[in-house]
Structure 1
Amino acid sequence: MTGEKLKPLVIAKSSNPRCLKNIKVEKLPVHFRDNKKARMTTELMSNWLRIVDKDMRKAGWKILLFLDNAPSHPMLKLSNVKLAFFPPNTTSRLQPMDQGIIQTPKLKYRKKQLQHILVKVDSSNKVGSQLLKEISVLDAIYWIDAAWRDIKAKTIVKCFPSEPVESVNADGNDDSDDDEVPLNVLKLSHDLFGCEFKDLINLEVTLRTCDDSYKTG
């Protein structure tokens, strides 16, 4: 509620992607985990919660963490993190993360992705769709980290009140005086994804991000 952020958790399909060959995973700006389907599981979520609990214990804080009823979200009793689950079918209205916190870094991530492709297009003979397939897990990790760091504390804070969150613009920012998305980025979103730039975040709406494991305590 105060706008402070935790390090993102990134889940990949491989534990040793080629792009991470000479990189120490613990030095990455995110928590890096893996499973065959690149989905959140009860085990991964439980381990992450214990890491957060340990960090809160070191900081001398006790926090309340809101969760939806995703199958991968476990019922755990922790010393410094209390879990509060929303009633079924209320996440879209009650979960602060769904009020703009998730949308904003997604838009920022997409902008970095498309700008990367535009730079590559200018220096190679490949088309955008080919370059899109060449994006590595490491590229995604750095863009996720940068997009998350770019989020202002006030963006997070204003997602907690009961009033509807102010809409963010297509750049993923909450300030009207920020630079607009370049026209070439807007065009590329149409060429690669067939939709408006601001609608790119909806591409993952039907994508399964967690398994169907039964909750375990």
Structure 2
Amino acid sequence: MEAILMTKFSVWTCMPSRTYISKEKTPPGHKVGKERLTLLLGINASGDFKLKPLLVYLAENPRACKGIFKPQIPVIWKANKKAWVTVAIFEEWFNDHFMPTVKKYLEEKGLGFKVLLVLDNAPDHPTNLGEIYPKVTVIYLPPNTTLLIQSMDQGVTASIKPYCTRRTFRHVLRVTENSSDELDVK
């Protein structure tokens, strides 16, 4: 049986709270940014198979992605006004992405289709997945224990959030250093 571990976490604006920039007051008429996104990540227990991440953002076509062909980006892009994974989004992802990808992986490895899926106890995870797909055994972790016993949450979340912050700062520095205009961080 192939075990697939899943984790989901939300990422808010990655700017640290202890910098001069974050202490500045916003100009009158402007709100503080409340950008958020949710990532759903999955990997098998041995670590040699990683699912394409599901990204849920506030907008289907944000201005920053203008001109970008979404099937070419390395995530499955979905939109929700609160940037949350809903039951509908999860079921669509499960049927259209999870099942075909896992089937292909198991066929390539010469293994029979028998999967153990470990999920946290979130309201967006349908409770009848094991009934619909009898060869997929779904285990839901007990409430309020995800951070303690789910291996994906122990390392992945702690690694990705600092990575996003470093990448954001590198991008800001690159843009401001290479700009012919007098751009600044503000």
Task: After TM superposition, give the deviation of residue 126 of structure 1 in Å.
Answer: 3.5
- Match of 1:102, SS state, is helix
Aligned partner letter, 1:63: V
- Match of residue 63 from structure 1: 115
Distance change in 2, residues 1:23/1:118 (3 Å): closer
What letter is aligned with 2:141? F
Matched residues in 2 for 1:79 and 1:47: separation?
18
Query: Partners of 2:183 and 2:70 in 1: how far apart?
Result: 31
1:149-204 Cα deviation digits (max 9, x unpaired): xxxxxxxxxxxxxxxxxxxxxxxxxxxxxxxxxxxxxxxxxxxxxxxxxxxxxxxx
CA distance in 2, matches of 1:103, 1:79: 34
More contact order relative to length (CA 8 Å, sep ≥ 6): 1
**Is 1:108 paired with 2:129?**
no
Cα distance in 2 between the residues matched to 1:66 and 1:85: 6
Following the alignment from structure 1 to structure 2, what is the Cα–Cα distance between the partners of residues 71 and 31? 21
The letter of the residue matching 1:65 is: L
**Post-superposition offset of 1:31:** 0.5
Q: Please list every run of 5 or more consecutive structure 2 residues that lacks an aligned counterpart in the other structure.
A: 1-44, 108-112
Bigger Rg, structure 1 or 2: 2
8 Å Cα contact 2:51/2:101 also seen in 1:
no
SS in structure 2 at match of 1:100: helix
How far apart are the structure 2 equivalents of 1:98 and 1:12?
A: 20
RMSD: 2.0
Q: Unaligned stretches of 5+ in structure 1? A: 131-217
For residue 10 of structure 1, the aligned residue among 55, 58, 63 is: 55
Q: Pick from 83, 87, 98: which aligns with 2:153?
A: 98
Q: Secondary structure at the match of 1:14?
A: coil
Counterpart of 1:33 in structure 2 is: 78
Answer yes or no: is the 8 Å Cα contact 1:56–1:80 preserved in 2. no
Instruction: Write 1 or 2 for the structure with the bigger share of helix.
Output: 1
Higher strand share: 2
Give SS of 1:49's match.
helix
Is 2:144 the counterpart of 1:89?
yes
Q: Is the 8 A contact 1:56 1:81 kept in 2?
A: no
Give SS of 2:139's match: strand
Cα separation, 2, equivalents of 1:18 and 1:88: 37
Give distance in 2, aligned partners of 1:118 and 1:52. 37
Q: Give the TM-score normalised by the residue count of structure 2.
A: 0.61
Q: Secondary structure at the match of 2:156?
A: coil
* Distance (whole Å) between structure 2 residues aligned to residue 62 and residue 93 of structure 1: 27
Identity level (%): 36
